[in-house]
Amino acid sequence: MASLADPILRRRKSRKGQGADFIQKIAMVLAVLLVGAAIFAPLLTPFDPLQQSLLARLRPPLGFERYAAGHIAGTDELGRDVLSRSLYGLRLTLALAFAGAVIGLVIGGLLGLVAGLRRGWAEDVIMSLVDMQIAIPFTLVALLVLALMGSSLTVLIFVLGIAGWEQYARIVRGEVRRIAAQPYLEAARTAGAGPFYTAWRHVLPNLVSPLVVQFTLALSNIVILESTLSFLGLGVQPPQPSLGSMVGLGRDYMPTAPWIVLTPAALIVALTFTVQILGDWLRDRADVRLRER
Amino acid sequence: MLPDPPVLSVKDLRVAFGSVEAVHGLSFDIHRGETLALVGESGSGKSATALSILRLIEREGGRITGGSIRLGGEAPAEITELAPAALRAIRGDRIAMVFQEPMTSLNPVMTIGAQLGETIALHRGLRGRAARAAACAALERVRIPEPDQRLGQYPHELSGGLRQRVMIAMALICEPDVLIADEPTTALDVTTQAEILALIAGLQRDLGMAVLFITHDLGVVSEIADRVVVLKDGDLVEEGRKADLFAAPKSDYARELLAATPRLGDGSPAPLAGAETVLEVRDVVTTYGGGGFFSRRAPVTAVRGVSLTLGRGETLGLVGESGCGKSSLARTVMRLVDPASGEIDLLGTRIDSLDAAALKPHRARIQMVFQDPYAALNPRMAIRDLVTEPAYLHDMVAPAGRDAMARDLLERVGLPADAAERFPHQFSGGQRQRICIARALSVRPQIIVADEAVSALDVSNARRVTDLMARIQREEGVSFLFISHDIAVVERVSHRIAVMYKGEIVEQGETSQVLHAPRHAYTRRLLAAVPRADIAPTAGPQVPGGNNALEGRRVPVVTPL
């Protein structure tokens, strides 16, 4: 009964039985399609994403007037195939977003763990860093770093990684402090457990749920940050396509050639949707408290 | 026996949570000036019934699926059919409720005055000066000293007992026909509990309201009730006058419940002669805080020079109110906090100054069972891992052998072996406490420290757990340091008793000696406050200092109308 007293658990539990699985199945299929498309982009795409064709500029997708044979999703202002560029862009965006989110998770998670467990001056320093990062608009920092270091993919991944670390750190520190006050940690100590065993066996498993949720949020945020940076010319460098830069550059042609934006935008929506749903699913799977009596 | 029509009449009430029915057709009546006790263990449907009467059950995810709840008096109403607005008019005005947790039932960011004023404004339309005067009168009615000053205070500035008085004042401010009290004293100390029970009884006499008193504690029932309804799994198993129930219970379940209820004076284990000392605590002082460089707070001393010994196969009961330092003493003995001074001698080794590495082998000899079995088990670990964790940490079991060991341990505490596969939330409170005991037993300790280990359990579950402890003691010669605020439970299990008050042990000795001839004034006060689970025809609720102290001050009730 105690677990049912928690309204969030109750909601999640009741939701479990009610056809939420259907949406999760859609998300799983989408995930397979998206990852497959990203990995096998070179095999799937009919055209070279960088190949320009001045004769077939701004052609609409299949089914419209002036459709250019083969360019199913149309062509952009330089006559490049939108579908091919989108799949290559998906590939790059997916890689960037995952690398960035993982870097943030590792940095933020570790610092949060240290802050939560050690307290004292370590906590003060780490939490001041967190406050600083929150106080300064990160886009400014990213612009500065990219302008100074030059815009290479390595620097970009690094910048995207540190973009979200402070959220992980805050969550982990809060959870660790909450868990540290639980009697079962004292019970572990009286059983003879040392600090490392306790952290690994008792604290970490309780961090999985909030971290999964934060990871899915961070992934979506990074996709948006990457598109912002690319739009400003400091992200992925043209002519290389990323989903964000395609949306950014295609914006100018929205009134006359909306298809340039629509395909990559649809992929971004599908990607973030999939990640969110799968994140919820993973969180519920990891939570043994949702199992029936 | 009472000629007037009932003020509240419940007929064939059915309550369901989802597809599970929690109350199966319950009927009872309450008359003016009568106290009806609704008795049952957790899960018996007693709280569901109480919440249904106010139709608050819908907020908890349940619904009334059948039956009627009829409010009598001058303006009769069928509560199950009322519209929300009419329902709100009744809540707090004609039917009021006092909840178990005085801490969480008051809004922490509102002053006492503002919270009392809210009810008056809603039902009586009083505001400003008039509302303040009414609030002040309400506090006076529940005998809160300096009521004018309390109005400006926040809940956290009051003690648990005072907060519960405020809750009662709030419930009574509109002089309801029916007061529902849902375990109002369960979270309180015995001495505070006695005061609150006396207060409710006195107010009932003054106001003539009907009281529906919900509790699991038959001791409390014997203090306050006129009639009793016993519930089990949502069914009424017995209904009758209090005296009849205690003298001659008709149902098996009521008999069982009565037998499980610890009664002061029921006898205790005979003291052991010449038992070898396994634990000796000498002049231990424990302080909290004050250690930090920037900390300006003075350190708080929780344990002040306590000495005690525990013999092999012996149970030493440590009694005292919350905040007296008994848990701090247990934590110090377990080396969860370091003593500021003093010596702890465990089986011939001084463990008070050992570092973590040197201490580890000694931890296997002394294990602890915690108060809250919900919080003491990591919710994300399987029972197998939880039960064998201490043994695993002390290399007493190979990873491959953990499953067999867990099954064996679970069987010893009376749980099915397949419980090993499951997780803590899949068990009830009593079962979890057994799991905690199995966990402690995994390293074959010589001493188990049980800190309020049965306080969170129902009487019959508590009985089973203390019986289990006694069996373990008989079979394996384990010594127990049994810490509890419930003196009747302590009497049942302890060879010797130590009474703790404000960080010191004020009295120590053989159980029967301490309880029959208490030497210290505090022990006498503690004993006087214990509710007796029997028919005491003359004795009403006992208040330390005598009933007259309260009876003499009948506060004139000024009704703001």
Bridge partners (DSSP) of residue A288 are none
**Model confidence band, residue B279 (pLDDT cutoffs 50, 70, 90):** very high
B380/A1 Cβ within 8 A: no
User: Residues A189-243: pLDDT tens digits?
Assistant: 898 888 888 888 898 888 888 898 888 888 888 887 887 788 777 888 878 888 8
A3/B425 Cβ within 8 A: yes
**Model confidence band, residue B540 (pLDDT cutoffs 50, 70, 90):** very low
Is this complex's ipTM strictly greater than 0.85? no
The mean per-residue pLDDT over the stretch B333-341 comes to: 91
Whether residue A239 has a cis bond before it, omega within 30° of 0: yes
Residue B378 forms contact with A (CB below 8 Å): yes
What confidence score (pLDDT) does residue B179 get? 92
Residue B143 CA to residue B162 CA, distance in Å, equals: 10
What does the radius of gyration of chain A's CA atoms come to, in whole angstroms? 23
Q: How far is A264 from chain B (nearest CA, A)?
A: 41
Q: How far is A214 from chain B (nearest CA, A)?
A: 20
What sign for the dihedral angle of Cα B451, B457, B459, B462? negative
Residue B54 CA to residue A80 CA, distance in Å, equals: 70
Bridge partners (DSSP) of residue B341 are B285
For residue B379, the one-letter residue type is P
CA-closest candidate to residue B179, choices B37, B24, B23, B25: B37
Q: How far is B346 from chain A (nearest CA, A)?
A: 14
Residue B384 CA to residue B108 CA, distance in Å, equals: 41
What confidence score (pLDDT) does residue B534 get? 60
Residue A197 forms contact with B (CB below 8 Å): yes
Residue B375 forms contact with A (CB below 8 Å): yes
CA-closest candidate to residue B164, choices B112, B125, B214, B220: B112
Residue B360 forms contact with A (CB below 8 Å): yes
The mean per-residue pLDDT over the stretch B37-64 comes to: 86
Residue B553 CA to residue B141 CA, distance in Å, equals: 10
Q: How far is CA B480 from the centre of its chain?
A: 22
**Nearest CB to B61: which of A10, A186, A293?**
A10
**Nearest CB to A187: which of B356, B370, B394?**
B370
For residue B223, the one-letter residue type is E
Residue B334 forms contact with A (CB below 8 Å): yes
Structural tokens at position B220: 């409390």
Residue B341 CA to residue B326 CA, distance in Å, equals: 17
Residue B367 forms contact with A (CB below 8 Å): yes
Residue B363 forms contact with A (CB below 8 Å): yes
Structural tokens at position B187: 């979270």
What confidence score (pLDDT) does residue B290 get? 58
What confidence score (pLDDT) does residue B385 get? 93
Residue A80 CA to residue A163 CA, distance in Å, equals: 32
User: Residues B473-508: pLDDT tens digits?
Assistant: 999 999 999 999 888 889 999 999 999 998 999 999
Residue B462 forms contact with A (CB below 8 Å): no
Choose, out of A184, A204, A212, A283, the residue to mutate when testing the contact with B (most B CBs < 10 Å): A184
CB A219 within 8 A of CB A97: yes
Query: What CATH architecture applies to the domain B8-260?
Result: 3-Layer(aba) Sandwich (3.40)
The mean per-residue pLDDT over the stretch B170-193 comes to: 85
What confidence score (pLDDT) does residue A164 get? 85
Residue B299 CA to residue B62 CA, distance in Å, equals: 48
**Model confidence band, residue A12 (pLDDT cutoffs 50, 70, 90):** low
What confidence score (pLDDT) does residue B9 get? 92
Q: How far is A11 from chain B (nearest CA, A)?
A: 11
The residue of chain B nearest to residue A189, with distances taken between CA atoms, is B336
The residue of chain B nearest to residue A182, with distances taken between CA atoms, is B375
Residue A262 CA to residue A240 CA, distance in Å, equals: 18
Please report the DSSP string for B62-122 in residue order.
Answer: EEEEEEEEEE-SSS-EEGGG--HHHHHHHBTTTEEEE-S-TTTSS-TTS-HHHHHHHHHHH
B378/A206 Cβ within 8 A: yes
A293/B423 Cβ within 8 A: no
A124 neighbourhood in chain B, CB within 8 Å: none
Residue B389 forms contact with A (CB below 8 Å): yes
Residue A289 forms contact with B (CB below 8 Å): yes
A183/B390 Cβ within 8 A: no
B481 neighbourhood in chain A, CB within 8 Å: none
B42 neighbourhood in chain A, CB within 8 Å: 1
List the alpha helices (DSSP H) in B248-377. 252-260, 326-333, 356-363
The more confident residue out of B161 and B214 is: B214
Count CA atoms within 13 Å of residue A4 on its CB side: 13
Neighbouring CB atoms inside 10 A of B283's CB total 12
B462 has pLDDT over 60: yes
**Model confidence band, residue B405 (pLDDT cutoffs 50, 70, 90):** very high
Residue A182 CA to residue B497 CA, distance in Å, equals: 30
A197 neighbourhood in chain B, CB within 8 Å: 393
Residue B255 forms contact with A (CB below 8 Å): no
Residue A25 forms contact with B (CB below 8 Å): no
Q: How far is A218 from chain B (nearest CA, A)?
A: 25
**Model confidence band, residue B546 (pLDDT cutoffs 50, 70, 90):** very low
Q: Where are the beta strands (DSSP E) in B254-320?
A: 277-288, 300-311, 315-319
The residue of chain A nearest to residue B395, with distances taken between CA atoms, is A192
Choose, out of A190, A207, A292, the residue to mutate when testing the contact with B (most B CBs < 10 Å): A190
CA distances from B305 to A146, B302, B325 (A): 65, 10, 11
A293/B425 Cβ within 8 A: yes
B533 has pLDDT over 70: no
B238 has pLDDT over 60: yes
Report the DSSP pairing between strands B77-78 and B95-98: unpaired
Q: Mean of the per-residue pLDDT values for chain B?
A: 85
User: Can you tell me which residue has the tokens 């007796």?
Assistant: B532
CB B94 within 8 A of CB B71: yes
A293 has pLDDT over 50: no
The more confident residue out of A248 and B355 is: B355
The mean per-residue pLDDT over the stretch B40-62 comes to: 85
CATH of A75-290, one of 3.40.50.11540, 2.40.40.20, 1.10.10.10, 1.10.3720.10: 1.10.3720.10
Q: Counting runs of H as helices and runs of E as strands, what totals does chain A give? A: 14, 0
- For chain A, the first-to-last Cα distance in angstroms comes to 10
DSSP category for residue B123: H
φ, ψ for residue B343, nearest 5 deg: -125, 140
Residue B368 forms contact with A (CB below 8 Å): yes
Residue B102 CA to residue B83 CA, distance in Å, equals: 29
Sorted by where each begins, the domain ranges of chain B are 8-260
Q: How far is A167 from chain B (nearest CA, A)?
A: 24
The mean per-residue pLDDT over the stretch A65-77 comes to: 80
What sign for the dihedral angle of Cα A13, A15, A16, A18? positive
The residue of chain A nearest to residue B361, with distances taken between CA atoms, is A192
Secondary structure element (H or E) that encloses residue A162, with its range: helix A153-163
Bridge partners (DSSP) of residue B231 are B236
What confidence score (pLDDT) does residue A7 get? 54
Q: Determine what percent of chain A is predicted with pLDDT higher than 90.
A: 17
A179 neighbourhood in chain B, CB within 8 Å: none
Q: What is the 3-state secondary structure (H, E, C) of B444-496?
A: CCCEEEEECCCCCCCHHHHHHHHHHHHHHHHHHCCEEEEEECCHHHHHHHCCE
What confidence score (pLDDT) does residue B390 get? 94
User: Residues A130-182: pLDDT tens digits?
Assistant: 999 989 888 888 888 888 888 788 888 888 888 889 999 999 999 998 888 88
B62 has pLDDT over 80: yes
B423/A184 Cβ within 8 A: no
**Model confidence band, residue B171 (pLDDT cutoffs 50, 70, 90):** confident
Choose, out of B17, B389, B441, the residue to mutate when testing the contact with A (most A CBs < 10 Å): B389
What is the total residue count of chain B? 561
Bridge partners (DSSP) of residue B288 are B300
**Model confidence band, residue B384 (pLDDT cutoffs 50, 70, 90):** very high
Sorted by where each begins, the domain ranges of chain A are 75-290
**Nearest CB to B379: which of A186, A289, A292?**
A289
CA-closest candidate to residue B189, choices B536, B500, B555, B437: B500
Residue A1 forms contact with B (CB below 8 Å): yes
CB B52 within 8 A of CB B68: no
CB B184 within 8 A of CB B196: yes
What confidence score (pLDDT) does residue B437 get? 93
A192/B426 Cβ within 8 A: no
**CA-angle at B97, arms to B95 and B101, nearest 5°:** 175
What confidence score (pLDDT) does residue B48 get? 87
List the alpha helices (DSSP H) in B126-241. 128-141, 147-150, 160-172, 190-207, 218-224
Residue A205 forms contact with B (CB below 8 Å): yes
